[in-house]
Amino acid sequence: MTISVCSGGISSVEFVEIASYDVTFRNRSSVAADEVRLSARYGRHEKRATFDVKGSFPPGVDVSRHLRRTVNGGLFAYRSDQNDCFVDYVHFADGTSWVRPAR
């Protein structure tokens, strides 16, 4: 699984931070995936907004999603067309899975 687009960021509204990203990813495996966990790094202390995306992700097809969730960590706003986004986990339709190695 690779990410080709990850634009967006964090907005603060009355003490609530909202992570909102437009992400395009592609399954580079030969097996369809049915769950992908993506994360976007933000802030100065390795904070991550994590998103679980479920569906059918066939091999070789670009998938675009608008991802949104609340996060915590103080008043902070940030937006960029290029972010540090990662594929953290993939579950495949055949029951196998992949986990990103720890860094």
Indicate the fold that domain 2-76+83-97 takes in CATH. Immunoglobulin-like (2.60.40)
Average pLDDT over residues 6-32: 90
Q: Looking at residues 17-28, what average pLDDT do you find?
A: 94
Q: Which residue has the higher pLDDT, 48 or 96?
A: 96
- pTM confidence score: 0.86
Give the Cα separation of 90 and 75 in Å (integer): 32
* Amino acid 13: pLDDT: 74
Query: 10 Å Cβ neighbour count for 11?
Result: 14
Return the domain boundaries, the chain: 2-76+83-97
